[in-house]
Amino acid sequence: MQYITPDLCDAYPDVLVVDPVFSNFGGRDSFGGEMVTIKCFEDNSRVKEQVEENGTGKVLVVDGGGSLRRALLGDMLAEKAARNGWEGIVVYGCIRDVDVIAQTDLGVQALASHPMKTDKRGVGDINVEVTFCGVTFRPGDYLYADNNGIIVSDQPLKMPG
């Protein structure tokens, strides 16, 4: 499904718009679905666990605290997410292996790229409310993203027309 966030904003003026600090790194320019959230800091253990689950119709939102010191997603986890049906991943932090991720059938938006992997300490929370970039992301709400930006809604949205 192709989502166009300006059209969704016009049709649903009450959507929340995430501050425009993300770049699109994935093989899909547009993605959307029900949110699953993770709160972690420089440890992607929970990201690894979640991408192994069935993600059909879902978007993984990773609150990495905005860290620019470690990558919370790399090519192997992105490829696993794509194989397991995830629509996309939004990382409030960094990713790596961007050339491979750009060829992966997965939407990926993040703050930046960084070559350093994380430590694996098994630390992080799954399906908790997280807040960054002016928006609170609640598990079970919906996120839509394209090259224009990221929007959040408490209900599923349909493209107008």
- Is pLDDT at 145 greater than 90 in this prediction? yes
- Measured CA distances, 71 to 102, 126, 139 (Å): 16, 18, 23
Residue 1 confidence (pLDDT) above 90:
no
Bridge partners, residue 36, by sequence: 60
Q: Summarize pLDDT for 13-65 with one digit per residue, the tens.
A: 999 999 999 999 999 999 999 999 999 999 999 999 999 999 999 999 999 99
**What DSSP letter does each residue of 16-53 carry, written as one string?**
EE--S--EE-SS-S-EEEEEEEEE-SSB-HHHHHHHTS
* Tokens matching residue 34: 């029900």
pLDDT at position 34 is: 98
DSSP 8-state symbol, 56: B
- Per-residue pLDDT reduced to its tens digit, 98-107: 999 999 999 9
Average pLDDT over residues 56-84: 98
pTM of the full predicted structure? 0.98
Long-range contacts of 9-13 (CB under 8 A, 24+ apart): 9/151, 10/160, 11/157, 11/159, 11/160, 12/153, 12/157
For 108-128, the pLDDT digits (tens) are 999 999 999 998 999 999 999
